[in-house]
Amino acid sequence: MDNRPEIWLGHCSLKTTNLDASHDFMVRVGLRPVFKNDEITVLEMRGGTHLIMMANENAKGGDAEFDFMVEDIDDAYSRFKTFEMDISEMSRGEIHDSFYVTEPGGNRIKFNSTHVEDHKLV
């Protein structure tokens, strides 16, 4: 029996001032490229969710309105530290351990440890 929720996030979006570098960054951290032209790139995450990144020379950057989740936060943090990118210190919390990475377009994205549930409600 499949206990996963029947609804998931289909798409989220992000504006960037540097589409090529932002696309390459997302591929490097683990997203799968689906489509790219001079104005837009579509990248796939686990579960089929697509990140749609749009070129916008007026994009402000700052904190993204979404966060990423990874299976092994310590492994991701160690790997990302070897890349030349702006990465915060690791924060250990009750629910998530997390860190932030700023992608080339100036968007700051939070990476969280997983909390995927696999149980039935009683």
- What the block records as the tokens of 67 is 């966060």
Band of residue 95 on the pLDDT scale cut at 50, 70, 90:
confident
Determine how β-strand 40-44 pairs with β-strand 32-36. antiparallel
In a domain, residue 42? The reply is yes
User: What is residue 120's predicted lDDT score, i.e. its pLDDT?
Assistant: 45
Band of residue 58 on the pLDDT scale cut at 50, 70, 90:
very high
Residues in the chain, total: 122
Q: What is the CATH number of the domain that holds 98?
A: 3.10.180.10
In degrees rounded to 5, what are phi and psi of residue 45? -110, 175
In a domain, residue 4? The reply is no
Domain hosting residue 103, numbered range: 11-113
User: What is residue 119's predicted lDDT score, i.e. its pLDDT?
Assistant: 45
In a domain, residue 118? The reply is no
Does 118 score more than 70 pLDDT? no
In a domain, residue 121? The reply is no
The total number of structural domains in the chain stands at 1
In a domain, residue 5? The reply is no
In a domain, residue 98? The reply is yes
| CA distance linking residue 89 with residue 57, whole number of Å | 29
The lowest-confidence range among 1-5, 57-61, 79-83, 87-91 is: 1-5
pLDDT digits (tens, 9 = 90+) for 7-55: 888 999 999 999 999 999 999 999 999 999 999 999 999 989 999 999 9
What mean pLDDT, rounded, does the chain reach? 92
